[in-house]
Structure 1
């Protein structure tokens, strides 16, 4: 059975994007934080995306290694991103590319099916998609890279839940710029 991991950069007050889908609060990550996310991506067997996050990632990473100032880690991330199998859940786009398949039907049924397969861990991203998986009790691990900024509103990392989810802390790490990464496993 595969592990499902939900992780993103977010503000200290819990938002992955400020009002108007503004992610400018995060700025470029430190080399150390970027390397952590690269290692995380390389350990993944499959990435699951909602439409908005897919559009953000696919607008840059297919050619991220060809940018004039790309660092070695960014070049490796772009290559890893292209090579990692991906599933996009959306009913509003018609096609996807770069080792990706599109699912337009029941996301929870498909995520449940994918979790039951053998393989490496799966990453899930996008507030709406991850929120649905969270409410269905499918998330096994949460990765929070909290940046020292308050934006007061926007797209929250966490969704409203019907019941409590108890977690165990498995990692805490501080990165340059005051970013604090915490990892929690769901207590089952």
Structure 2
């Protein structure tokens, strides 16, 4: 995939879990607290969500966390945003699965539109925050995990102004997870 710019736009979509106190990982990036809930077998709609997207956009920190998993979990192309990582730095088994880009969010979304993407799954705390600041997120599916971490990497960061959300639906799960979907107004 060649990333060039175009006048069309790809929409960004978030599907993420956070602790009740708003953290997506421990201060060191560990997500061990998610394991129990991921293994619960409850259908959180992730597979259905993945069926609606054309590919993923994530930051380098999230990408490095995914590399620590037992196997590569994505069937769709992943674009990793990095100012330092190069395509040549990737493991051979990621050829055709991962592309590195140093583009800022707005030109990246235009480039993805040129490549035929309509919907991008935006993942990773800082990347989500930067896309929100540039009004590039259409909706957020946020699953609150019933745990308080007390400290960690926050899901949301500073914004120049309030960002109104429109609640679409909320689903509760037997494990105690609560999932809400919001559209960005």
Q: Please give the range of the TM-score, normalised by the shorter of the 2 chains.
A: 0.7 to 0.9
Paired position in structure 2 for 1:13: 21
> Against the structure 1 CA distance between its residues 100 and 176, is the aligned structure 2 distance closer, same or farther, given a 3 Å change threshold?
same
Aligned length: 169
Tell me the CA shift for residue 103 of structure 1: 0.4
Residue deviations 1:151-182 (CA, integer Å, cap 9, x gap)? 11211111110111111111211123100010
Alpha-carbon distance in structure 2 between the residues aligned to 1:185 and 1:168: 5
Paired position in structure 1 for 2:54: 45
Residue deviations 1:94-139 (CA, integer Å, cap 9, x gap)? 2342522110243442134435775442110111111111111111
* TM-score (normalised: structure 1): 0.80
Query: Do residues 94 (structure 1) and 86 (structure 2) align?
Result: yes
Q: 1:141 aligns with which of 139, 142, 145?
A: 139
Paired position in structure 1 for 2:4: none
Question: What 5-or-longer segments of structure 2 have no aligned partner?
Answer: 1-8
Alpha-carbon distance in structure 1 between the residues aligned to 2:47 and 2:63: 17
Return the structure number with greater helix share: 1
Q: 1:32 aligns with which of 18, 22, 42?
A: 42
Paired position in structure 2 for 1:124: 122
What secondary structure sits across from 1:13 in the alignment?
coil
* TM-score (normalised: structure 2): 0.81
Tell me the CA shift for residue 147 of structure 1: 0.5
Paired position in structure 2 for 1:162: 160
> Against the structure 1 CA distance between its residues 175 and 17, is the aligned structure 2 distance closer, same or farther, given a 3 Å change threshold?
same
